Amino acid sequence: MDIVKFLKINNIKATAQRVVIAELLYNHRHLNIDEIYKRTVKQFPTISLSTVYKNVNTMLELGILQELTVPNQKPRYELNESAHAHLICTTCGKIKDIDMDTDKVLNALDLNIEKRDDLKVEELSISLFVKNIKDHDNCCAFNTK
């Protein structure tokens, strides 16, 4: 993916810091702010945590990033590239992306939102929290297949 082009298409100036943050999240999905900072500071030793927060918040506001909330963890971030759901292990906190057809999900919910002219779905967020109840030594059942 051309990160600079992706940022420009989304109407945000492609500063060096934003490019690095977006590349990190493209290559290493679901990072929290501390993980983003630790990896960004390797390329920009003088960057502050505050600057990373400001860039992440700007990209969130513009819809370039998506924030994922996992109980008992710091929020995690990812590029908002395509519609997908999240499978989250409640034991270890690992996250797996699952392809999702937004239109099929909305149709299955039978809300008829697409037929109304006063409502528009801006975001659909689905997280499935799972626990392996058969094999307690293998907490992430979704890692097997």
- The reported pLDDT for the residue numbered 143 is 54
Number of H helices, E strands in the chain: 5, 6
Same structural domain, 43 and 70? yes
Q: How far apart are CA 28 and CA 36, in angstroms?
A: 10
Domain boundary among 56, 80, 104: 80
pLDDT, one tens digit per residue, over 41-66 is 999 999 999 999 999 999 999 989 99
Q: How far apart are CA 66 and CA 77, in angstroms?
A: 6
Domain boundary among 33, 64, 80: 80
pTM: 0.77
| Residue ranges with strand state E in the chain | 31-32, 65-68, 76-79, 84-89, 95-99, 127-130
Q: What is the CATH number of the domain that holds 69?
A: 1.10.10.10
Q: How far apart are CA 28 and CA 100, in angstroms?
A: 20
Read off the amino acid at residue 133: I
Please provide the average confidence, as pLDDT, over all residues in the chain: 85
- The reported pLDDT for the residue numbered 144 is 44
- The reported pLDDT for the residue numbered 26 is 93
Residue, of 125 and 40, whose pLDDT is higher: 40
Same structural domain, 73 and 92? no
Q: How many domains does the chain have?
A: 2
Range of the domain at 46: 1-80
The fraction of the chain above a pLDDT of 90, given in percent, is 43
Residue, of 108 and 15, whose pLDDT is higher: 15
pLDDT, one tens digit per residue, over 115-129 is 777 777 777 788 888
